[in-house]
Amino acid sequence: MSDAQEPVRSKEEEEDPSQEDSEDDSSEEETPGEMDFLRNLFSSALGFGAGSGEKALDELALDGVAKYIQSGKCKNIICMAGAGISTSAGIPDFRSPGTGLYANLQKYSLPYPEAIFQIDYFKQHPEPFFALAKELYPGQFKPTICHYFIKLLKDKGLLRRCYTQNIDTLERVAGLEGEDLIEAHGTFYTSHCVSFCCRREYNLDWMKEKIFSDDIPRCEKCQSLVKPDIVFFGENLPVRFFTSMKMDFPRCDLLIVMGTSLKVQPFASLVSKVSRNCPRLLINMEKTGQVEPMLGVFGGGMDFDSDKAYRDVAHISSCDDGCLALADLLGWKSELEELVKKEHARIDSEDQKKKQSENDGAEASPKPEASPKPEASPKPEASPKPEASPKPEASPKPEASPKPEARDG
Ligand SMILES: [Zn+2]
């Protein structure tokens, strides 16, 4: 199967040696699940935890989180991501009810709108799903600032894992690998034959070609349907979601929740799986995931504002802005902006090449890349004189570098 090259963290039973310097973090971690739950339950019922002197954050704000990351005590960061991290990339949130999409489904004459993502219906009537997939297929897969912020966490050795609800593969495009990721609701990145005896795997290019040629994708081996590996209603979440969750969350030093309303279970419940002292940062357009008053002790929801709030921080902004602000506080801002610029340029040039070769079609005359001659140097910027140029259209400047300042909001 894919992702074979990375042995790290591949076995649930094994610690990731690279993450555990010499610091021995207690012996209780042998039984993370239930023990943690009980401990948390008791400590919160008895009033420990909060204010027990172990507060990780000086301040319940982005500054406090940045200081904590810089303190060196924060080595295992888990990111939880939702559709909000991809909206600035123009990816439609097409699996969630209430996004406007469902209102547009009449033309497929479905018995009810959700049927389009219902596994049983799909197996009988795959056409509506693939028609919709074609309609909504992103023109370009260009990750956002937020995606590259997560990649930066990985590069700095701080990312334990990214749990995403998104199926758009942008985390992978940004450079996260299979091991770094839990795609809780599956992914378009791979597809499989639906026949249990076959299960042959197909890649994204193969699927895209079928979708755009209006073919219903059929397995080349057994002629059964081929379905993208996204989780349909009526299907289980990937097994890795559950196995990794048990290993990752008790060891988490900081949880960063981005662009999700935390309404879909079991994903939403992940916020309660970290330890009682683990700070949680929400970057979102609105507060979400808060404690249900009636379930306070049991729910494990977020508490940003009460007198007892001690570890939850809500940063209300777009995911891109929030990540930029945090990167700024960490001294990583220019590094992040460079990364985004470089990667976007790479994606653009690849797209261009692809289009070119599609246009050239069969009779491709591979042009010998514009002459590498030394190119007349573009005037040494000597004279700073204001220059009353009469012609408005005089100088077609050789492309002023597009400043990455374009921080909206
Ligand atoms: Zn097959």
Q: Considering 230, 259, 293, which residue would you say is the last residue of a domain?
A: 230
User: Which of 230, 258, 285 finishes a domain?
Assistant: 230
Task: Tell me, in angstroms, the distance from the centre of ligand 1 to residue 214's CA.
Answer: 19
* Residues known to be catalytic: 185
| 69 belongs to a structural domain | yes
Residue 343 in any domain: the answer is no
Detail the residues annotated as belonging to a binding site.
83-87, 93-95, 165-168, 193, 198, 219, 222, 260-261, 284-286, 319
Greatest mean pLDDT among 4-18, 22-36, 95-109 lies in 95-109
pLDDT band at 26 (very low <50, low <70, confident <90, very high): very low
**Residue 321 domain-assigned (yes or no):** yes
Strands 186-193 and 201-203: antiparallel
Q: Is residue 214 part of a domain?
A: yes
Residue 30: pLDDT band by 50, 70, 90 thresholds?
Answer: very low
User: Which two three-digit tokens encode residue 187?
Assistant: 């992914």
pLDDT attached to residue 209: 95
Residues 137 and 204 in one domain: yes
Dig out the tokens for 16 from the structure: 């990731």
Q: How far apart are CA 351 and CA 14, in angstroms?
A: 40
pLDDT tens for residues 351-374?
A: 899 888 888 865 544 444 444 444
- Whose structure tokens read 């249990």? 196
Binding-site positions for NAD(+): 83-87, 93-95, 165-168, 260-261, 284-286, 319
Higher per-residue pLDDT: 257 or 104 = 257
What separation in Å is there between the alpha carbon of 224 and the centre of ligand 1?
A: 5
Do 289 and 177 lie in a common domain?
yes
What average pLDDT does the segment 319-347 reach? 98
Please, which pLDDT band fits residue 123 given cuts at 50, 70 and 90? very high
Q: Are residues 83 and 191 in the same domain?
A: no
pLDDT in tens, 225-263: 999 999 999 999 999 999 999 999 999 999 999 999 898
What is the separation of C-alpha 189 from the centre of its chain, rounded to a whole number of angstroms?
Answer: 13
Say yes or no: 315 and 224 in one domain: no
Distance (angstroms) between ligand 1 centre and the Cα of 164 equals 28
Residues 291 and 317 in one domain: yes
Domain membership of residue 77 (yes or no) is yes
- Do residue 164 and residue 106 come from a single domain? no
Task: Please tell me whether residues 49 and 112 are part of one structural domain.
Answer: no
Q: How many domains does the chain have?
A: 2
Nearest to 272 by CA among 298, 254, 248: 298
Query: Positive or negative CA dihedral for 383, 389, 392, 396?
Result: negative
44 lies in the same domain as 61: yes
Residues tagged in the binding site annotation for Zn(2+): 193, 198, 219, 222
- Sheet-wide strand order for 201-203: 201-203, 186-193, 226-230
Residue 272 and residue 280: Cα distance in Å, rounded? Answer: 10
The answer to whether the beta carbons of residues 164 and 183 sit under 8 Å apart is yes
What residues have CB less than 8 Å from 404, skipping those under 6 apart? 337, 340, 341
* Whether residues 153 and 250 fall in one domain: yes
Q: Please give the Cα distance from 85 to 144 (Å, whole number).
A: 7
Residue % of the chain over a pLDDT of 70: 70
Quick check: is 269 in a domain?
Answer: yes
Residue 105, domain CATH: 3.30.1600.10
Q: Are residues 295 and 193 in the same domain?
A: no
- Residue-range definition of the domain harbouring residue 212: 93-141+187-230
Which uninterrupted H or E stretch holds 2? none
Q: Which of 209, 230, 251 marks a domain boundary?
A: 230
pTM: 0.74
Helices 333-360/145-155 angle, 10° precision: 120
CA 219 to ligand 1 centroid distance, Å: 5
Does 260 share its domain with 319? yes
Is 322 a member of any domain?
A: yes
The answer on 311 and 197 residing in a single domain is no
Once rounded to an integer, what is the mean pLDDT over residues 318-343? 98
Contacts of 90 (CB under 8 A, 6+ apart): 138, 139, 140
8 A C-beta contact, residue 231 and residue 186: yes
Q: How far is the CA of 190 from the centre of ligand 1 (A)?
A: 14
Asked, for residue 348, whether it belongs to a domain, the answer is no
Residue 364: the pLDDT is: 46
The CATH number linked to 157 is: 3.40.50.1220
